[in-house]
Amino acid sequence: MEMDPNRSARHEEISAPGGAEHKVPEMGVRVSADRLTAYLTVKVRQPDEILTEQDVIDFLHGKGITYGICGDSIRDFCENKKYFLELPCARGLAPVDEEDADMEYLFHTDRSGLPVEREDGTVDFHDLGLVQNVKKGDVLCRILPPAEGKPGVDVLGKPIPYKKGRFPSFPSGRNTRISEDGLELSAKIDGCIQYKNLVLNVNEVFIVHGNVGSSSGDISFLGSVIVQGDVMEGFQVKAGGDITVRGMVEGATLEAGGNIAITHGVNGMHGGKLKAGGNISAKYFQNTVLECGGDVCADVIMNSSVAAGYAVILRGPSARLIGGRCRAGRQVYANYIGTDSYVKTDVVIDSQALTQMLAGNAAHAEEIGSLTREAAEQQKRLDVLDRQIETVDSVMKAGSHGERIRLLAQTLAQQQKECENRIRACQEKAEKIKQAPPASTADYNVIGLKIVYSGTKITIGGFVMSVANDYSSMKFYVEKGQVVAGPILPSDRMSY
């Protein structure tokens, strides 16, 4: 708003201090568009016209200009009669506008995929930082509000509001949440960050579009990982969920909280290791260390160290277990175990459940033995009592009926009855235990559907059998404290 520059004070006479009067020149005022500066103009028509500081202040007040009056400038203007100048006679207070809010990213927005340089100048191709893990509730980015602005005041004494700063928009995408105050973006799930085209997603599955090698580095992810290619020698893939490899694995380390599934095979090259909380499966495993809480499934396992919490299952055109050491918690199942060239193959069935079962069966047999022994001891005592009773009876028949003999006869008869009752109780309890069959350990077994070759060593629950001859279509299990071989039942074939 600009005040009319033609609004001015006409020539008038004003009483000077002490009663004298002076003539005041014509004055005008102009206010800038932003109302922050007022300009005074003076037009002198007669030589005797003079202007004082108070004349100007009274004039400005009359025009409504009350804030920021420049007293020193007005005084100098009047005393030195600078009437030919346009005088900035009042200045307002400019507002302090807010700056725009900033966005703080708590993850790397630009991952170059270049290897990290070590202190010695070499580079680490294992740490390329492609995977950025986040947990549920982690803050991904936040808005940093600017300092609050300050309002201004114009020369008319009216407030001038400040301009608010602009707030950026969050790059929110899948599995992200904006806080109630609108200042933070956080993850809704455990996962990894995908930031592309200004959109931020948190994914449950991390996909490697190619091989895990020098182009990707090692992969470590809280969720599940899918590798579209191979996992190369010396590299690692670690996942809190499952690992799926669409190619093959060579001399690498894979660790999964869930299952590991490999489309082709694994050659550990005497350095590879696979560890899973669930199952591990592939077409073949060679020179590999395997450890899992569930089953290991393959067509061929060769010269590997296997430890499966439940079963090792070999199915397919070959279904062979050749060399190495294979331990399972319940069962090893294959067409062929060992080879005709006598390659040493160790097969072990061992688990806490089996140990407890065998211990229970041993305790079962021990209790029967203890009862049998106690019954025999009681029988010996009964035989002695019978002879003593016969002697007392003979004495009494001979005419000796003293009180002492009578009491002895009563005592022996009571002991005889107690002995007979104890023998009967032991025999009944032993028979009852015998009628309850011991827990079957036949389900903890090694099954060779076609051939188990000589040279194979089978250990089940600590009991060992070294196979001296080839066995055809046979099941091995523990019975009466030893590993025995028995026929494969139809139900065994249908188990898997």
Task: Give the C-alpha separation, 307 to 287, whole Å.
Answer: 14
Q: Tally Cβ neighbours within 10 Å of residue 56.
A: 27
Tell me the per-residue pLDDT of 41-76, one tens digit each, with 9 for 90 and over. 999 888 888 899 999 999 999 999 999 999 999 999
Say which range, 216-230, 307-321, 345-359, 392-406, has the weakest mean pLDDT.
Answer: 392-406
State which amino acid sits at residue 317. P
Going by C-beta distance under 8 Å and a sequence separation of 6 or more, which residues neighbour residue 209?
Answer: 228
Q: What is the pLDDT of residues 70-117, one digit of tens each?
A: 999 999 999 999 988 999 999 999 999 999 999 999 888 876 555 555
Provide the pLDDT for residue 119. 62
pLDDT of residue 422: 82
Q: Compare 256 and 126 and report the one with higher pLDDT.
A: 256
Task: DSSP for 147-165, please give it.
Answer: PP-B-EE-TTS-EEPPPPP
Q: How many helices (H) and strands (E) does the chain have?
A: 5, 41
- Section 376-404 average pLDDT: 74
Tell me the C-alpha distance between 243 and 208, whole Å. 11
Give the pLDDT of residue 5: 40
Structural Rg of the chain based on CA atoms: 51
Mean pLDDT check: name the lowest of 11-25, 101-115, 154-168, 395-409.
11-25
β-bridge mates for residue 172, sequence order: 200
What single-letter amino acid sits at 445?
Answer: N
Averaged pLDDT score across all residues of the chain:
84
Task: Give domain 296-351+444-496's CATH architecture.
Answer: 3 Solenoid (2.160)
Q: How far apart are the C-alpha atoms of 324 and 345, rounded to whole Å? A: 5
Better pLDDT: 290 or 405: 290
**Comparing 102-115+125-149+163-202 with 296-351+444-496, is the CATH topology the same?**
no
Beta bridge partners of 191: 134
| Model confidence at 3: pLDDT above 80 | no
* Residue 371: predicted pLDDT: 65
Segment holding 459, helix H or strand E: strand 456-460
Separation CA 60–CA 73 (nearest Å) = 14
pLDDT for residue 252: 95
* Section 407-436 average pLDDT: 75
User: Which of 101-115, 125-139, 390-404 is predicted with the least confidence, judged by mean pLDDT?
Assistant: 390-404
| Tokens describing residue 109 | 């927005």
Which fold would CATH assign to domain 102-115+125-149+163-202? OB fold (Dihydrolipoamide Acetyltransferase, E2P) (2.40.50)
pLDDT at 222: 86
Asked whether residue 19 carries a pLDDT value surpassing 60, the answer given is no
Average confidence (pLDDT) over 164-184: 92
Least confident of 104-108, 154-158, 228-232, 450-454: 104-108
Residue spans per domain, the chain = 8-91, 102-115+125-149+163-202, 204-294, 296-351+444-496, 356-435
State the DSSP string of 46-71: STTB---HHHHHHHHHHTT--SSB-H
Query: 336-389 pLDDT, tens per residue?
Result: 999 988 889 999 998 887 777 756 555 556 656 776 777 788 788 777 777 777
Q: Is the pLDDT score of 120 beyond 70?
A: no
d(CA 414, CA 408): 10
Q: What is the pLDDT of residue 16?
A: 41
Q: What is the pLDDT of residue 333?
A: 95
Q: Is the pLDDT of residue 227 over 70?
A: yes
pLDDT at residue 128 in the model = 62
**C-alpha angle 140-141-144 in degrees, rounded to nearest 5:** 155
Whether residue 70 contacts residue 92, with contact meaning beta carbons closer than 8 Å, is answered with no
